[in-house]
Chain A
């Protein structure tokens, strides 16, 4: 089995490494780069805990091989905050109590992030559609939906100010 050299830009940092054909992006992020904010839940695209942003789009890092991501620009939950300042989505998830055990939270936030980057004024239906690939087994869905709407409001205000 021949390893393949790949380049990734993750949260602004460039990485080069040799990966096996079967190594998935979620494994590389967590085990090689130590970015354990990205979770693996089901490993088959159902739960959305591994959602990250790749080249501007929300994608599931358990359904992408590292070799497929060669050359990609990746953003994970760790890259969202600005210095010590949390991203408005992170703040909103805290203030809306949209977190209980927290396992689904990074995926929810990264899915919400891709939406807000494209649309600063999403309606509730859009937010629900966007979070449809993210399962939560404790807090439920109302708070995360509210949190994404609140973050979008916050970000609109920042842009207007």
Chain B
């Protein structure tokens, strides 16, 4: 019997209102759980034995859907990562960036339980699923006891392991707007492990549309190379309105690396990560372009 976990209580709300009630009641003591693959592992340096905490299990509130509506793809926050990856529309070139990120995320066995909302709300700087959602300009639907708000994913990450969610709020849905134009996208991840602790050294997501011969909308999202995942907007602007030739792509990739601020740690040096940003951004842009043309 595992003796390190010490939760005080477990609550299984049947709908969002009930969940918000429990969250408000327990305040700092409440701990939201869905799949559990981020909440339960005991790791050095993470004080998460759960002493005094009340688990709020949001996996039974009907938030495990993924569906197509008039304005886009709507994904419930408690949809498992594998169910997202299996959604047929996401294999199209415009959205492939998301199904590619799913395939790079941990392992099949973990993805059967891990949820898309969990990956986002854990607010890791290297969250694989955040980047494709930056690239696809997704918005997040957040519910609190007083109001529902929608924010672009760009505003969701406010610090290392810190999201814009208040204590008594829940992420309920992720909306990916339909892409009216033809688009090419790509996700690339550099990492050493493909298991539960699968933190990327660098991960990159790109989105790309064209107007005639020139780039139109370009989005480049970077992970693991700063306190939060972010869009490399200067790099994007280098390509906008320009030819997607080798030289421009390389300039954009270099600008992306300049915008990154990685750390030295046990897994890689900052200098190495920066060099890899150049290569991954270039490759992801080339992939996106190829898929756009196909």
Q: Which residues of A are at the interface with B, using a C-beta cutoff of 8 A?
A: 1-2, 4, 20-24, 27, 31, 43-46, 48, 51, 57-60, 62-65, 67-68, 70, 111, 129-130, 132-133, 135
Contacts of A67 in B (CB 8 A): 10, 12, 55, 57
Asked if A27 and B41 sit within 8 Å, CB to CB, the answer is no
> Knowing that A48-B109, A59-B112, A70-B12 are A-B contacts, what are 16 other residue pairs whose CB atoms are under 8 Å apart, sorted by A's residue number?
A21-B7, A21-B9, A22-B50, A24-B40, A27-B2, A31-B1, A48-B107, A57-B112, A60-B113, A62-B40, A63-B35, A63-B41, A67-B55, A68-B36, A111-B109, A133-B107
CB within 8 A of B113: which of A1, A21, A64, A129?
A64
Q: Which residues of B are at the interface with A, using a C-beta cutoff of 8 A?
A: 1-2, 5-10, 12, 33, 35-37, 40-43, 50, 55, 57, 59, 106-110, 112-113, 194-197
Asked if A45 and B110 sit within 8 Å, CB to CB, the answer is yes
A43 smallest CB distance to B (angstroms): 7
Asked if A133 and B1 sit within 8 Å, CB to CB, the answer is no
Given contacts A43-B2, A68-B59, contact A63 B107 (CB under 8 A): no
Asked if B41 and A24 sit within 8 Å, CB to CB, the answer is no
Kindly report which residue of chain B lies nearest to residue A2, judged by CB atoms. B9
Kindly report which residue of chain A lies nearest to residue B34, judged by CB atoms. A68
A87 smallest CB distance to B (angstroms): 19
Asked if B42 and A65 sit within 8 Å, CB to CB, the answer is no
CB within 8 A of B195: which of A62, A64, A132?
A132
B284 smallest CB distance to A (angstroms): 22
Asked if A60 and B57 sit within 8 Å, CB to CB, the answer is no
Given contacts A21-B55, A22-B2, A31-B1, contact A45 B196 (CB under 8 A): yes
Asked if A63 and B108 sit within 8 Å, CB to CB, the answer is no
Cα A87 to Cα B90 with chains together (Å): 36
Asked if A59 and B57 sit within 8 Å, CB to CB, the answer is no
Asked if A63 and B36 sit within 8 Å, CB to CB, the answer is yes
Asked if A1 and B42 sit within 8 Å, CB to CB, the answer is no
Cα A22 to Cα B6 with chains together (Å): 6
Cα A65 to Cα B12 with chains together (Å): 13
CB within 8 A of A44: which of B6, B35, B43, B107?
B43
A61 smallest CB distance to B (angstroms): 11
Contacts of B108 in A (CB 8 A): 58, 129-130, 132-133
Cα A65 to Cα B8 with chains together (Å): 13
Asked if B197 and A44 sit within 8 Å, CB to CB, the answer is yes
Give the most central of A20, A57, A68, A135: most B CB within 10 Å: A68
Cα A4 to Cα B109 with chains together (Å): 27
Asked if B110 and A4 sit within 8 Å, CB to CB, the answer is no
Asked if A44 and B41 sit within 8 Å, CB to CB, the answer is yes
A59 smallest CB distance to B (angstroms): 5
Cα A1 to Cα B53 with chains together (Å): 10
Contacts of A64 in B (CB 8 A): 36, 40, 113
Asked if A43 and B42 sit within 8 Å, CB to CB, the answer is yes
Contacts of B43 in A (CB 8 A): 44
CB within 8 A of A132: which of B5, B33, B41, B194?
B194
Contacts of A31 in B (CB 8 A): 1
